[in-house]
Chains A and B, each alone.
Chain A
């Protein structure tokens, strides 16, 4: 069973709109969350990380984390066509160094 679940599977957002992506872990041992972005034909690159409850903002990107529910979300405001990519949520446990577990991804398409 997949320990990191993402929703939706795919998302279409108009240019300039807000994209909201969700991720939940079913493993209570999860401590840390990341969001990676993978453009078509390229390798994943880390976008943002969040380790504590609350919110973190970097430019147009905001991540939220609720540790009690093991839920994180990524919000992209003023979406641009270059934001079209596969967004991968990943989680790790503090005791299990070296093992990052990925969700199945959300395919985001920004329509001009």
Chain B
């Protein structure tokens, strides 16, 4: 049962454009994440928020910025996309503890031409 909702499913854009991805979870979790899955299927964490507070900020280019309005929403904005940004962006949520399971959304596939 899907409880982490991502929009859009796909997005095709050109180099230099700005894109925004949305994520909402209805599980009542307090922690949300953005992961990037590349063409080799490697999943890398980008950002993590706990109760609207940024707790993990991996080394990602400055053109990426997360936005959290409340603990159920975490959006991702890319200011000026580059070809290497082509990937699947997965949103996930969990309860805060490191022992708790991540629930992933279906992902947003970004293609940069």
Distance (whole angstroms) from the CB of B29 to the closest CB of chain A: 11
CB of A12 closer than 8 Å to a CB of B = no
Cβ contact within 8 Å between B42 and A32: no
Interfacial chain A residues near B56, Cβ < 8 Å: 96, 98-99
**What would be 10 A-B contacts, judged by CB atoms less than 8 Å apart?**
A32-B99, A43-B107, A44-B102, A86-B41, A96-B98, A97-B98, A98-B50, A98-B98, A99-B45, A99-B56
Interface residues on B, range: 20 to 34
A98 and B96: CB pair below 8 A?
Answer: yes
CB-CB < 8 A to B44: which residues of A?
102
Q: Which A residues touch B21, using CB under 8 A?
A: none
Tell me, yes or no, whether B43 is within 8 Å of chain A by CB.
yes
CB distance from B92 to the nearest CB of A (A): 8
- Checking B45, B55, B98 against A32 with a beta-carbon cut-off of 8 angstroms, the contacting residue is B98
Decide if B106 is an interface residue (CB 8 Å cutoff): yes
A45 to B33, CA, bound (A): 15
Tell whether, in the assembled complex, residue A44 and residue B43 are in contact, meaning their CB atoms are under 8 Å apart. yes
